[in-house]
Amino acid sequence: METLTPHGSATLDVRAELRAALSNGHPPDLALLRAAPREELAQALADLSPTELGRLVTRLGDEALADIVAELDAFDAARLLGKLGRAQAADVLEEMDPDDAADVMGEFEESEAEAILQEMEQEEAEDVRELLTYPPESAAGIMTPDFVSVAPYLTADEALAQLGRVAEEAETIYYVYVTEPSSGRLLGVLSLRSLVLSPRWKLVSQLMYTEVTRVRADADQETAARLLDKNNYLALPVVDERDRLLGIITADDAADVLLEEAGEDIERLGGSQPLEEPYLRASIFHLFRKRVLWLLVLFVGGAFTGSVLNSFQSVLDQVVALTFFIPLLIGIGGNVGSQTVTTLVRAMGVGEVHFRDIFRVFWREAAVGLLLGVVMGGVTYARAWVQGYGFEIGPVVAVTALFIVLWAAAVAAVLPLVLHRLKIDPAVVSAPFISTLVDGTGLFMYCTIAQVMLGLR
DSSP type of residue 28 = P
Least confident of 3-12, 105-114, 311-320, 354-363: 3-12
Query: Could you give the percent of the chain with pLDDT greater than 90?
Result: 10
Which pLDDT band holds residue 9 (cuts at 50, 70, 90)? very low
Tens-place pLDDT, residues 271-290 = 555 555 665 566 677 667 76
Distances (CA, A) of 42 to 14, 65, 104, 384: 10, 12, 14, 57
pLDDT value of residue 64:
78
Asked whether 139 and 217 are in contact (CB, 8 A), the reply is yes
pLDDT value of residue 401:
92
Tens-place pLDDT, residues 426-437 = 766 566 777 777
CA dihedral 379, 381, 383, 389 (to 10 degrees): 180
pLDDT value of residue 4:
37
pLDDT value of residue 347:
80
User: 176-179 and 2-4: which strand pairing?
Assistant: unpaired
Tens-place pLDDT, residues 37-77 = 767 777 777 777 777 777 777 777 777 778 777 777 778 78
Give the Cα separation of 77 and 74 in Å (integer).
5
Tens-place pLDDT, residues 206-222 = 888 888 889 999 888 88
Listed in sequence order, the DSSP H helices in 210-325 are 221-231, 251-269, 284-311, 313-318
Give the Cα separation of 432 and 82 in Å (integer).
42
Least confident of 104-108, 248-252, 298-302: 298-302
One of 1.10.357.20, 3.30.70.250, 1.20.1250.20, 1.10.3720.10 is the CATH number of 279-454, namely 1.10.357.20
One of 3.20.20.140, 3.10.580.10, 3.90.226.10, 3.90.190.20 is the CATH number of 148-249, namely 3.10.580.10
**Does pLDDT of 363 surpass 90?**
yes
Looking at per-residue pLDDT, the higher value among 363 and 270 belongs to 363
Distances (CA, A) of 331 to 93, 376, 378: 54, 11, 16
pLDDT value of residue 2:
38
Tens-place pLDDT, residues 219-246 = 888 888 888 888 888 888 999 999 999 9
Q: Count the neighbouring beta carbons within 10 Å of the beta carbon of residue 157.
A: 14
pLDDT value of residue 364:
92
The arrangement of secondary structure in 2-133, i.e. its CATH architecture, is Alpha Horseshoe (1.25)
Mean pLDDT of the chain: 79
Q: Count the neighbouring beta carbons within 10 Å of the beta carbon of residue 209.
A: 12
Give the Cα separation of 363 and 429 in Å (integer).
20
Give, for 94, the enclosing helix (H) or strand (E): helix 86-94
Please check whether the two domains, 2-133 and 148-249, share a CATH topology. no
**For residues 129-155, average pLDDT:** 86
**Does pLDDT of 20 surpass 80?**
no
Cross-strand bridge partners of residue 314:
none
Looking at per-residue pLDDT, the higher value among 10 and 164 belongs to 164
Least confident of 38-47, 141-150, 235-244, 369-378: 38-47
What are the residue ranges spanned by the domains of the chain? Answer: 2-133, 148-249, 279-454
Distances (CA, A) of 423 to 339, 351, 416: 23, 15, 11
**Does pLDDT of 457 surpass 70?**
no
DSSP calls for 163-208: HHHHHHHHSS---EEEE-TTT-BEEEEE-HHHHHHS-TTSBHHHH-
